[in-house]
Structure 1
């Protein structure tokens, strides 16, 4: 990307590293466009003192509400409803259903595909004002509404109660889709996925008669709605209804005080960023580096490892960038934290005969790290991008490494903002049985995020071709996708990739839903049939009813 600075690139990486899907929902029979050229304010059906702001195409605010972080997708809805209460959500959904209007729901705007912006969507229900965070003492759970951003969640939970949730690293991501897709982040090796702490959901659903209603589903064994809770532990957004509140409490807690009911983050972390120059890199050195990285996690991903608090991303990017980096953090309070970090860096670099440059190494507060430090965080860059994903059960094969080298050093394609983020995984994540949540990948050690950023629409075909060819070559042995086998275990729904449903890019014979949900898809289909019998909440990668 011409003029793409190093600082901007780091920001882009941080954005996509923590980004996740929105909560799309599209009706099967959209109505024709209606005239909606002015902003209107209507009183909510319930909720004293609250209003719904409705914005149409003629309003100066309209452009800001019709696209998110991926500028490849810009919607043209007839209206956008900014709701702030569950009753307003209920009314908005009922109005859309009654009018047979295609609708979609947006929380943070980080959807990778066109789920919220495609032409069928005539109404967008924007949840950004439904952003409360607090503690429900009657039920003994924390509540987080879907419009809350991760950075605000971390700040509120930590400053008021000294606790947190092990969610993603990008502070601008909305909670709505992040939780529904089984979000992960820098504390997941120590505390598991964010859904491993999900006690319940409150949401709006629509029955077979077209009537919208509010329901609550929890993980309690005697809850008749328990399967609906389970579906929200990784089944992805936009399939079952509109979540209006998530309820969190860690399983097995015995304390009754709020500060005893969720994980406690470290007070401070030791952070590191190191860089390798492409000018020093041979194929042998590059291959050894990536092989070392994968093999290290093969032997250091148990939940009781002294490295359980270490989280790292190795980010090889196209050679035209001039260099690539690895960003790491570790709890500064663990015994010999500095020595553990040094040992890790040495192990990754061993035998490469190439030196890395230390760009950053210091101790910072955990809260600063998850809200402001540019290592894993970033602002919304609103670039165009394409992302793909893979779970790795063990390190890289020779074929994987050859494909990485080939595409990272291609001379017919020179783009510094094309990369792969190879992220630490495992630990506590892998202690949860695969069927306990809708995230079935529970024995992986790495999660890969392939991504290319750009700004010029005229370059779409070029960058899409590069990332698709890289991905297909890396997984050529399994039909161009990371099918479940000894090495790989499918894909991550929050990095939504519509290519997986296209036989041009998925020649494995494994359907897209098996790559995301494995055998759990059948259970998700049953939940879909019960709670969204009219298939009103749908998009290209939503659950299809039995």
Structure 2
């Protein structure tokens, strides 16, 4: 294993806002489906212990020894001191917790996986935090003819249950411990997304705890095919509108639109085997010209190979542009090994990256793929490969780091001026953390086959995402690392006010990599507001749904949809 792969954490893949629209619960009993299940809906899914007795949720107060573990997420920059943390087991218990918060006028927040990059879940205003980790079941609901996923489930929970039980999957992110709640509602993506689309492209329904204008609290089921237009709107808002704006989703149901038959045919088949390549190029061998050619080649390859349903259009790649102090640049590439000419497509792609850097060398063949001295390819069963890629970096799942992240969508290969700015910042001498850099992740393929208004995800024709990031451990290093990310982002997008405004090249930001600076004129000097950077023209509909379903603005944070 290379030094690069030991060091990197690939947070880009699984970075989801694990907050207020998390989901949870057990499946409904057959025949129990209703469009509006009312305040007692959770009784259909009451948790039981081994002998069948009802098991209640948990409440943790400040004196409880568990309290310190439950007042922050993965990003240790953000801390809360709530009056209590509620860990429900059923939808009914979520309804009760929300009703109590509303009646007392107390600010609430919700956590599923705890990966929120910003302070949307953990901040000084939060008095009641609802943590959904005990609601992590993954089952098949015969009454809905769809897979039901609980709000406290992590991505690994979902992958293992769906694959081992039925041989299917959803195209979610790399990071194992990301909670499905924020990941899905932000339009989650991952290594199978160019092949199968976004997670929300396979979402069928959500159960949401909502608060009416009179303060009453209930749960409703909103589906893609709901007869009621208001419910269809509520469903749509959860296909990329982000967490924390409309209610608390207590259950997700998944079924690919148009799919028929038994459970094994209702979601994408997971690959039997995948090619998984890890690349590592020492920084001392990288010149400015080589760096420029690599970033250009990577983006232009995605432009040329963007057709859904093709082998090249299914290849997924992360380009890891680490700060020079880390010692190396890297890449992660995944491809379904069963696709036509998969080994040749992958070999050609890898050779192109080496050649762009001017580092072509003697090659070797492994698992049918031609590798160089800088790339290593393994042929692995899909689930094993998924577990492996999520676990090879110790910092990816490290709950003790502090971090800052900024994102962009690009519709074309990275322009030369932006590449020059990247190189300038990645080779700076200001000494940021070794866990600092810019991650480029592939988009396009099947993602682009869906209309930008069919779901709340507006950036459907982007070919890549970027994640400007730094992770560190000590509070004394906050200023230095935050400054590096802010300065690099502002430099790269200097032509458009320091942010990636939607135009022919850039296309705004990714809500699952939230960035509080976008709301601050000191960092966003463009004429484009933070919400239009996230949602573009879809924001007006999100606002209308917000007014309809959360008129009291109970579910809010610094960048929630505004009334």
Once residues 181 and 432 of structure 2 are traced to their aligned partners in structure 1, the CA distance between those partners, rounded to angstroms, is: 36
1:268 equivalent among 264, 273, 280: 273
1:361 Cα offset (Å): 1.6
Deviations 1:31-78 (CA, angstroms, capped at 9, x unpaired): xxxxxxxxxxxxx99536121211111221111111111000111111
Once residues 531 and 543 of structure 1 are traced to their aligned partners in structure 2, the CA distance between those partners, rounded to angstroms, is: 12
Once residues 295 and 420 of structure 2 are traced to their aligned partners in structure 1, the CA distance between those partners, rounded to angstroms, is: 11
Once residues 298 and 4 of structure 2 are traced to their aligned partners in structure 1, the CA distance between those partners, rounded to angstroms, is: 24
1:94 aligns with 2:99: yes
SS at match of 2:538: helix
SS at match of 1:372: helix
SS at match of 2:110: strand
Aligned to 1:257: 262
1:534 aligns with 2:552: yes
1:387/1:376 Cα in 2 relative to 1: closer, same or farther (>3 Å)? farther
Q: Show the 5 A alignment for 1:142-221.
A: 142-220=147-225
After TM superposition, the score normalised by the length of structure 2 is 0.90
1:21 aligns with 2:3: no
SS at match of 1:316: strand
1:50 aligns with 2:48: no
Please identify runs of 4+ aligned residues in structure 1 that moved more than 4 A: 5-8, 374-378
Q: Which runs of 5+ in 1 are unaligned?
A: 26-43
1:8/1:210 Cα in 2 relative to 1: closer, same or farther (>3 Å)? farther
1:434 equivalent among 446, 452, 455: 452
SS at match of 1:522: helix
1:145 Cα offset (Å): 1.1
1:414/1:116 Cα in 2 relative to 1: closer, same or farther (>3 Å)? closer
1:90/1:50 Cα in 2 relative to 1: closer, same or farther (>3 Å)? same
1:120 aligns with 2:125: yes
1:7 Cα offset (Å): 6.1
1:400 aligns with 2:418: yes
Once residues 334 and 265 of structure 1 are traced to their aligned partners in structure 2, the CA distance between those partners, rounded to angstroms, is: 12
2:301 equivalent among 296, 300, 309: 296
Q: How many residues matched? A: 520
1:480 Cα offset (Å): 0.7
1:465/1:260 Cα in 2 relative to 1: closer, same or farther (>3 Å)? same
Once residues 51 and 441 of structure 1 are traced to their aligned partners in structure 2, the CA distance between those partners, rounded to angstroms, is: 42
1:513 equivalent among 523, 531, 536: 531
Q: Which runs of 5+ in 2 are unaligned?
A: 22-40, 47-52, 361-371
Once residues 488 and 45 of structure 1 are traced to their aligned partners in structure 2, the CA distance between those partners, rounded to angstroms, is: 43
Once residues 332 and 471 of structure 2 are traced to their aligned partners in structure 1, the CA distance between those partners, rounded to angstroms, is: 19
Aligned to 1:501: 519
Q: Is the 8 A contact 2:174 2:390 kept in 1?
A: no
Aligned to 1:109: 114
Q: Which moved more, 1:482-491 or 1:341-350?
A: 341-350
Deviations 1:286-318 (CA, angstroms, capped at 9, x unpaired): 111111111111101111332133111010111
Aligned to 1:246: 252
Q: Is the 8 A contact 1:82 1:128 kept in 2?
A: yes
